[in-house]
A = this chain, B = another copy of it.
Amino acid sequence: MDKVLKEITPKSSDFSQWYVDVIRKADMVDYAPMKGFMVMKPYSYRIWEFIQEAMDRRFKETGHENAYFPLLIPEHLLAKEAEHIEGFSAEVAWVTMGGREVLPERLAVRPTSETIIGAMYSQWIHSYRDLPVLINQWANVLRWEKATRPFLRTTEFLWQEGHTVHRTADEALRETLQQLEIYREVIEEYLAIPVIQGVKSAGERFAGAVDTYTLESLMGDGRALQTATSHFLGQHFSKAFDIQFLDEDGVLKYGWTTSWGSSTRMIGALIMVHGDDKGLRLPPKVAPIQVVIVPIGRGEDREKVLAHARDLAASLTAIARVKLDDRDEFTPGYKFNDWEMRGVPLRIEIGPKDMAKNQVMIARRDTGEKISVAESDLLTKVPELLNAVQDELFRQAKEFQQSHSYAIANYQEMDQYGYRGFFRGDWCGSEECATRLKTETGITIRCLPFGESPVTGHCVVCDEPSQYRALFARAY
């Protein structure tokens, strides 16, 4: 019965090893034969599909259309926006040969697509009537990484990148924040991960952005993860790529652009926020299997119970994603562990005694609670319980985040918490203080959170009068 569990490192003893153990044992990823690359197996890819569906519907509802731009970007294009190329040059993979010929100019495998999309937009946009341009792309991107960690830091990953052009700065800024709100909604309501919204400090901005807005979440080990970002690019890219339009007043003007992205990294957050020593705990809305049915019956009961379990599975299929585990080579105990490892929200156990009483036993993955339910109530009870699990996972994550959030007046106070958690404190606004903090403690400014009242205190690093309230944390 402990066959599965025994191979997982407890979360509390080594979080990193626990993470790697869980994703392997839960059959989410495998390592490819090339360093830095991973395979997303069906169980994690299905989660990605649910995230895509939720995001894509909202993108379309807000007037965006999908398109597809080339994977390869000529070096001279990538270099057009100075800060951008500086930010990405160390991470780019280069195609230098096509077929049997050496290419005259090397081509970057896209690390992000602002440049190639900017080059196209400059040809598509002429008049104010062509605006806004609201396009999103679902794509793979490459960033050459030294250290790799599945979902969090891999050379290749899947994401969506939105790229829009607007007539005014105000409209572009509204777009930036609207998309951030879509991310918040999907991440909180589907992934059940609470977020802190804010704007990045200058040192943490996207390369080429005027402002980067971010969602920050607290992982189970007290480190922060940036789950999605939305960038107000001002006119940086429109000037670099000559994206101009003739306005209604007859004046030629540069467009105001935004970009916003979210990636398979969110699946890493999902694991680290909800997982426990038994493995994954998946929020029902993104769980590939919402309900697993495990028949329990030996000898002459076996077939009878199995046939009944099949009927149950068939009736529940209309209201949930159901899997009947009819494998005969494993014991019920082994199966319990196996599906707990994979984070299935509800397990229905059915044996001869349950059958006699026309009831089943339902076990919740989030709380471990076991509930006896009459079969006649299943079609109403299962959706109720799925909602309850969804809510409870969010509640637990929110509680964890709150109980690991600390107000600090001086950065040395973070020491007593082992530098783990969300720390709110004042910051003078100088990059020197940010750098000193990072060097001494590994802590970075995650964001300047929205909704903070005017700041009148002193910087947690230098004790000079502060300009901002900041959210500090060690980050992935």
Footprint of B on A, CB under 8 Å? 30, 32-34, 37-42, 45-46, 48-49, 65-74, 77, 89-100, 106-107, 109, 116, 119-120, 123-124, 129, 135, 139-140, 142, 144, 155-156, 158, 329
Q: How far is the CA of A203 from the CA of B34 in the complex (A)?
A: 34
List B contacts of A92 (CB < 8 A). 99
Q: How many copies does the complex hold?
A: 2
B97 touches A90 (CB 8 A): no
Q: How far is the CA of A139 from the CA of B73 in the complex (A)?
A: 18
A97 touches B94 (CB 8 A): yes
Known: A37-B72, A77-B33. A67 touches B45 (CB 8 A): yes
A224 CB to closest chain B CB, in angstroms? 26
A138 CB to closest chain B CB, in angstroms? 9
B120 touches A30 (CB 8 A): yes
Residue of B nearest to A76 (CB): B33
B109 touches A95 (CB 8 A): yes
Q: How far is the CA of A38 from the CA of B70 in the complex (A)?
A: 7
20 contacts between A and B (CB under 8 A): A30-B124, A33-B74, A33-B119, A37-B70, A37-B72, A39-B70, A39-B120, A42-B65, A45-B67, A46-B65, A46-B66, A71-B140, A71-B142, A89-B100, A92-B99, A93-B97, A94-B98, A95-B95, A95-B96, A109-B109
A151 CB to closest chain B CB, in angstroms? 12
Cβ 8 A contact of A66, one of B30, B45, B119: B45
Known: A99-B92, A140-B140. A156 touches B39 (CB 8 A): no
Residue of B nearest to A48 (CB): B68
Known: A72-B156, A94-B95, A120-B39. A107 touches B34 (CB 8 A): yes
Known: A42-B67, A45-B65, A67-B40. A91 touches B99 (CB 8 A): yes
Q: Which of A34, A46, A77 has the most CB of B within 10 A?
A: A34
A436 CB to closest chain B CB, in angstroms? 28
B144 touches A99 (CB 8 A): yes
What is the interface of chain A mostly: helix, strand, loop, or mixed? mixed
List B contacts of A140 (CB < 8 A). 71, 139-140
- In the A-B complex, list the 10 residue pairs whose CB atoms are closest, starting with the nearest: A42-B65, A99-B144, A40-B68, A94-B97, A37-B70, A98-B144, A96-B96, A32-B70, A93-B98, A45-B67
B34 touches A72 (CB 8 A): yes
Q: How far is the CA of A42 from the CA of B124 in the complex (A)?
A: 13
List B contacts of A91 (CB < 8 A). 99
List B contacts of A69 (CB < 8 A). 32, 39
Residue of B nearest to A116 (CB): B32
B107 touches A97 (CB 8 A): no
Residue of B nearest to A77 (CB): B33
Residue of B nearest to A107 (CB): B34
A422 CB to closest chain B CB, in angstroms? 32
